[in-house]
Amino acid sequence: RKEVEQDPGPFNVPEGATVAFNCTYSNSASQSFFWYRQDCRKEPKLLMSVYSSGNEDGRFTAQLNRASQYISLLIRDSKLSDSATYLCVVNDYKLSFGAGTTVTVRA
C-alpha cells in the first residue's frame, strides 16, 4: 500500500459547483497534513494545513478523519482559477506526497 494515495481525477466541474476529494494515508501515527496546490509546470504552493480535525479557509475546507485515515478537501463555489492539481502531503519523519488530484473548472 502506498504511503499516500489520492484519486487522480480529473474532476471536471462547472463554475459555482462544489467539488470534494479524499486522500488516504497508511501511517496511523501521522500527526499533520497539508494540501498543496500545483499549477502546470510550477512549484507546489501551500493551500492549507490540517493539524486537528480540520481547517477552513474561505471556500476551502479540509477535514481529517483519523479513524479511517483520510483527509478531504472540499472546494465550494468553484472558480476557473481553482483549476489545478491538488497534492496531499502527510508529515511523518519525512514528507510524503500523494500523486495529486486534478481539478478542472469549466465556464
Partner 1 sequence: GAVVSQHPSRVICKSGTSVKIECRSLDFQATTMFWYRQFPKQSLMLMATSNEGSKATYEQGVEKDKFLINHASLTLSTLTVTSAHPEDSSFYICSARTSGGFTGELFFGEGSRLTVL
Shortest spacing between CB 51 and partner 1, in angstroms: 8
Pull the grid cell for residue 26: 497508511
Footprint of partner 1 on 7-36 (CB under 8 A) = 8, 31-32, 34
Q: Tell whether residue 43 is a contact of partner 1 (CB under 8 A).
A: yes
Type of residue numbered 78: S
Q: How far apart are CA 56 and CA 33, in angstroms?
A: 14
Q: Tell whether residue 49 is a contact of partner 1 (CB under 8 A).
A: yes
Q: Which residues of the shown chain bind partner 1 in the complex (CB under 8 A)? A: 4, 8, 31-32, 34, 41-46, 49, 87, 89, 91-100
